[in-house]
Amino acid sequence: MKIALIIENSQAAKSEIVHGALKSVVEPLGHSVHHYGMYTPEDKASLTYVMNGLLAGILLNSRAVDFVVTGCGTGMGSMLACNSMPGVFCGLVIDPTDAFLFGQINDGNCLSMPYAKGFGWAAELNLQDCYRKLFEVERGVGYPKERAAIMAKNRGILRELKGAACKDMLSVLKAVDQDLLKAAVSGEKFQQLFFANCQDEAIASHLRGVLGG
């Protein structure tokens, strides 16, 4: 599984901590981490939590990645921005129980975490425990197990509802402010990571045009 990490500007100083915690858990499981930034507070390409949502939508709908890990100060802004995108089902994860239940019940493809609120001593251990509870086990099994069937049915209904409520991702990319879109995809490693993994040529072509290529 390809997992994208996206960090916004207010928490960029913690990028190395989050990246290290994520890699330490998922790489031994055979997954890869694609870090789309930010990397430091001094990065020229500055991402806001709104841009996190745009990036999550681009990466998941183009199938460049299978899962997105993101966040902001409280995790709420990034969660809202991600859930505004078609095909993105993002949960707010604060502790390992949240991670486990999100994976078992909702089986989403994106999580948002708080990297300021409650981020104190041994915060990296909480991150690792959250990632383990989500990625070490089969997702979507249900909790409690006797409710697994109705949970799976409700996930399908939610997907249908979101499909009816949202435009397709290419239409979104054409409709949003193009300066905002260009800023979101102008990160240091975006082109290197995205175009090598994108599986939707229409999305890739539009972004090449936005980037001037």
**Domains of the chain and any CATH numbers:** 2-211 (3.40.1400.10)
Mean pLDDT value of segment 94-100: 98
- The answer to whether 110 touches 71, Cβ cutoff 8 Å, is no
State the chain's mean pLDDT as an integer: 97
> Per-residue confidence at 213, pLDDT binned at 50, 70, 90?
low
The pTM (predicted TM-score) of the whole model is 0.96
- 16 φ/ψ angles, rounded to the nearest 5 degrees: -65, -35
Q: Which of 74, 47, 76, 20 is nearest to 185 (CA)?
A: 47
Residues 6+ apart with CB under 8 A from 165: none
CA separation for the pair 105, 81 (Å, rounded):
21
